[in-house]
């Protein structure tokens, strides 16, 4: 990472927002994840390896915030960060289409694999009910948040400050 302190700052800010703001902007019990937002954006900006490390740290913080087994979010967000970075680098799309597509796929994968992880560990909720009631709505909510915050967050995280739009970021 070229500017590690911006990454640490973004993760710290995401933690604060997750605790202080996210519960209050829930729609129909669907709480957005600022951690996922930061991990996906970091993966876009810094690439798959940095995305995986940021995902691991963000996941660990989420694990300690929750009451579920520690390590579950760390595993899922490491893989999500890596996958988002790889998709971003290899997707044949221009302009805003690439981050939009990757954001939706990554947000969907993160919650789907977390549900799978909980199910494998034997502490998961009803699988199909959760898929419809939790995974899909939250993926949409997170993807919308990524799209809203991505241009500004990416500009903050990138060393190249001239980046201003989706077209130039993609």
Partner 1 sequence: MRIGQPEPKRGNPRLLVTLIALSLVLVTVYFREGDSGVLHGARRVTLEITAPIAHAGMALTSPFRAAGGLIEGIGVSRERLDALEEQNAELRARLAELEEARQENERLRALVDFAEGRRLAKLGAHVIRRPVSIWEGVIVVDRGSVDGVESGMPVIAAQGLIGQVAEVSPHSATVRLLTDQQSGVAALVQSTRATGVVRGSVTGELSLGFIDREQLPQPGDVVLTSGLGGVYPAGIVVGDVTAVDDRRGELYPRVTVESRVQVDRVEEVFILVGSSIATEGGEIE
Question: In the bound complex, what is the minimum distance in angstroms from residue 5's beta carbon to partner 1?
Answer: 19
Minimum CB distance to partner 1 smaller for 55 or for 151? 55
Q: What is the dihedral of CA 85, 66, 104, 40, to 10 degrees?
A: -30
Min separation Cβ 65 and partner 1, Å? 6
Chain contacts with partner 1 (rule: CB under 8 A):
15-16, 18-24, 26, 29-31, 33, 46-50, 52-53, 55-56, 59-72, 74-75, 78-79, 82, 85-86, 89-90, 92, 94, 114-115, 118, 121, 123, 125-126, 129-130, 133-134, 137-138
Which is nearer to partner 1, 26 or 148 (by Cβ)? 26
Q: What is the rounded CA–CA span in Å between residue 51 and residue 45?
A: 9
Helix (H, G, I), strand (E, B) or coil at 158: coil
Non-local CB neighbours of 138 within 8 Å, separated by 6+ positions = 30, 31, 32, 33, 107, 111
């Amino acid at each position: 990472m070229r500017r590690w302190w911006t990454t640490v700052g973004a993760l710290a800010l995401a933690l604060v927002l997750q605790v202080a703001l996210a519960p209050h902007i829930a729609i129909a019990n669907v709480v957005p994840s600022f951690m996922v937002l930061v991990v996906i954006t970091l993966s876009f900006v810094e690439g798959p390896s940095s995305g995986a490390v940021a995902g691991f740290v963000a996941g660990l913080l989420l694990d300690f915030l929750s009451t579920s087994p520690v390590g579950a979010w760390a595993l899922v967000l490491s893989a999500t960060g890596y996958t988002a970075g790889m998709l971003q680098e290899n997707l044949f799309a221009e302009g805003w289409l690439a981050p939009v597509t990757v954001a939706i796929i990554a947000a969907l994968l993160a919650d789907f694999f977390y549900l799978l992880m909980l199910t494998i560990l034997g502490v998961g909720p009803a699988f199909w009910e959760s898929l419809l009631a939790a995974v899909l709505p939250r993926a949409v909510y997170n993807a919308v948040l990524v799209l809203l915050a991505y241009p500004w967050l990416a500009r903050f995280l990138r060393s190249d400050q001239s980046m201003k739009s989706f077209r130039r970021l993609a």
